Structure 1
Amino acid sequence: MNSLDPHAKASVVQFGAPLSEAIGVMILLHGRGGSAQDILSLARSLYDPRLCYLAPQAANHLWYPNSFLAPRETNEPDLSSALRKINSLITEAAEAGIPTERIFIGGFSQGASLSTEFVASHPARYAGLMTFTGGLLGPLGTDISHEGDLAGTPALMFCGDPDPYIPWPRVEESAVVLRAMGADVTTYRYPGRPHIVTAEELALAAEMVKTAIANFNL
């Protein structure tokens, strides 16, 4: 493993349609200590046989070492490596003829924060963003704004309150940033919900996926 680019050769678990035959892609990112197989369990609730589901495996089961609220430099070079890994999957999809507007990105916990950070730092029209307990990276009280146009990308942001890792105010701040970039963001706050993904969240995400696919320009 390259210590400067730890996720460069990360394996990618695939589910659903082959990339060469798929009409769209869903990239799913696992949480701290999790695995690609773990996060692909969500794919069964978000399943469409025409989609290719891709789940990269983070080196040492974590995308970056410290809290998403830590100074960004303390999460390097892992964070930049993780963002490059996702971008390589976007490139792979483009080479197969699948543009960003037919690519969904989502994740849980650390993977949710990484998903949010990727979309904000690589702005384009995506099929959808689904963040199951996460938000943009950076210490509380600092500027987390990004530049660029998300061109109406639908985004669902779910979180319990209180959550042991993700403060609800950061979810709200992240939603404000994404809306300013042109995303269509809906947030869902669940008082007292533990650090999990619920059936209700998956049902809401599945409905968004269904609507987005119906509007694909094929």
Structure 2
Amino acid sequence: MHKKNIQSAGKSLKDADKALIMVHGRGADARDILGLASHFNVDKYALLAPEATNNTWYPYSFMANPEQNEPWLSSALNLLKDMVDDITAQGITAENIYFLGFSQGACLTLEFVTRHAQKFGGVAAFTGGLIGDKINLENYSGDFNDTPVFIGTGNPDPHVPLSRVHESVHILEEMNAKVFLQVHDGRPHTISPDEVEEANRVIFS
């Protein structure tokens, strides 16, 4: 399963008031996602990026039956939970823990925070949605208490249907997240400058 292979940058957890967990996409690695940090207003954050075994968090599409993606999916979610526990043990509260993910990493990030909804610092999900062939509401609990969540996506996107993005937004809003959605028609599977600007405005301001 996934090992606790965490790459870090920015301030140390002991010296930082805020922490950002950055989750890479399929085929990428921790250094790839950490390399995006220079585009965001996070110079005073502790930056932590877990690395997936074989560079993928789960083997099949996020829209597959979840059982097909086990035990890797549960292992990945447990790894994020361990990271949050480690950060809070260093004295950084959940309100000062932030998340950023791209593609498969965005899906994993949204799935994790919605299963553990509370007042986080903020969530930036670049092309992602909640995981499963259908959404299982029994997996989700808690109250985001106005946590800002930015979701950016292309339309159409080859991996993430817009319908699933809208479904995810609805659930997050029902759980009291403050969701900011950007949909870019014809945009390839990437992160656009507009999305970076909006994430900085609403999450990393």
Q: Same fold (TM over 0.5)?
A: yes
2:16 corresponds in structure 1 to 22
Q: Which stretch of structure 1 is more off in the superposition, 145-154 or 93-102?
A: 145-154
Equivalent runs, 1:36-115 vs 2, <5 Å? 36-115=30-109
Report the CA distance between 1:150 and its aligned residue: 1.0
Report the CA distance between 1:144 and its aligned residue: 3.5
What SS does the aligned partner of 1:194 have?
Answer: coil
How far apart in 2 are the matches of 1:121 and 1:158?
20
Q: Aligned residues, how many?
A: 203
Cα deviations by residue, 1:70-104 (Å, 9 ceiling, x for unpaired)? 00111111011001111111111101100111011
Unaligned runs of 5+ in 2: none
What SS does the aligned partner of 2:183 have?
Answer: strand
Match for 2:154 among 136, 160, 185? Answer: 160
Report the identity percentage.
Answer: 40
Amino acid at match of 2:176: G
- Runs in 1 of length 4+ with deviation above 6 angstroms? none
1:198 corresponds in structure 2 to 192
The reply on whether 1:10 has 2:1 as its aligned counterpart is: no
How far apart in 2 are the matches of 1:10 and 1:92?
12
Scaled by the length of structure 1, what TM-score is found? 0.90
Residues 144 and 177 of structure 1 are in contact (CA less than 8 Å); yes or no, is this contact kept in structure 2?
Answer: no
Residues 148 and 203 of structure 2 are in contact (CA less than 8 Å); yes or no, is this contact kept in structure 1?
Answer: no
The reply on whether 1:116 has 2:110 as its aligned counterpart is: yes
Scaled by the length of structure 2, what TM-score is found? 0.96
How far apart in 1 are the matches of 2:195 and 2:98?
16
Unaligned runs of 5+ in 1: 1-5, 212-218
When the two chains are superposed, the root-mean-square deviation of aligned CA atoms in Å is 1.1
Report the CA distance between 1:209 and its aligned residue: 3.3
Residues 124 and 203 of structure 2 are in contact (CA less than 8 Å); yes or no, is this contact kept in structure 1?
Answer: no
